[in-house]
Amino acid sequence: MAEIGSDGRRRGTVRPELKELLAPLGVVPARAEPGEARAVLERDGAVILSGQGDDPEELVVAAARLLGGRLREVFGIRGQHGVDAPALGLHSDGATVVVDVHARQVRLRDPDEDYLLMLCTDPAQEGGDSVLVDGYGLVDELRTARPQLHAFLTGCDVDYFGGWTTPARGVPAVPLVRRLVEYTRGGRRVVRASDYAAPVPREPRWAEHVAFLDEYADVLATAQECGARFRLDAGELLVLDNYRFLHGRDAFRGERRLHVLTVRTTEAF
């Protein structure tokens, strides 16, 4: 079963009996030319563009070209640099970060960012391959294979960051209550994963909800273990529907540099 570290992060355990069910859900995005990328993204929910160079501002250009008039809000470009890092589990992007600028509340990140763009500038010398899992397919499989877990994911609220023991500055202390699978008011399905999810405060079925969160963590760990891998080379840009896909990566050795941009479109919450 899943374990919770001192930081409050829940880490799942690979369940061999689930591998046959979950292995087909791994996705390797198609690589497309710039003129074809928008159609591929709309069809598949994910696409890789090659030859994008190493300028992080290309992320903003790509977001405008691929999302067009649907683009509503662009958050700051985040550099990600690591050396000899462990594996990163399946997750969905999105964070609650609020600051005060001249007595005005400004949101630097949003928990409902619905598209993710990732530019690889320097791939790791060894490892660091990406894993992408179709969350829609995952939830559909759980409906039959794990109906009680499916009912929890789609029907019960959780405190999305409630397990986090040492939140960073700018993270509101008020619980963010939501479901791990739900729909926008426009009917778009959202599949989420948070290492720090906990039952909502004063939940009367606390132990039962913890058990379901542990089971979901095990499902995600297994899906990552047996999912297809792909590698982003220098100058390749991955774009994905953050409401549909869960993503992670393998451990790596050496130095690895990426730049990440998250956005909100008119179809977000």
- Nearest CA to 156 among 205, 189, 110, 113? 205
Distance (Å, rounded) from C-alpha 112 to C-alpha 193?
12
pLDDT in tens, 104-155: 998 899 999 999 999 999 999 999 999 999 999 999 999 999 999 999 999 9
Distance (Å, rounded) from C-alpha 262 to C-alpha 92?
11
Share of the chain above pLDDT 90, in %: 92
Q: Domain ranges in the chain?
A: 3-264
Maximum Cα–Cα distance for the chain, whole Å? 55
Average pLDDT for residues 245-251, to the nearest whole number? 98
pTM of the model: 0.95
**Per-residue model confidence (pLDDT) at position 148:** 98
Average pLDDT for residues 212-223, to the nearest whole number? 98
Can you list the positions of beta strands (E) in 211-254?
229-230, 237-241, 245-249, 252-253
Evaluate if residue 167 carries a pLDDT over 90.
Answer: no
Give the contacts of 266 (CB within 8 A, at least 6 positions apart).
69, 70, 72
Architecture field, domain 3-264: 4-Layer Sandwich (3.60)
pLDDT in tens, 70-115: 999 999 999 999 999 999 999 999 999 989 999 999 889 999 999 9
Give the contacts of 123 (CB within 8 A, at least 6 positions apart).
231, 232, 233, 234, 256
**Per-residue model confidence (pLDDT) at position 169:** 86
Average pLDDT for residues 226-238, to the nearest whole number? 97
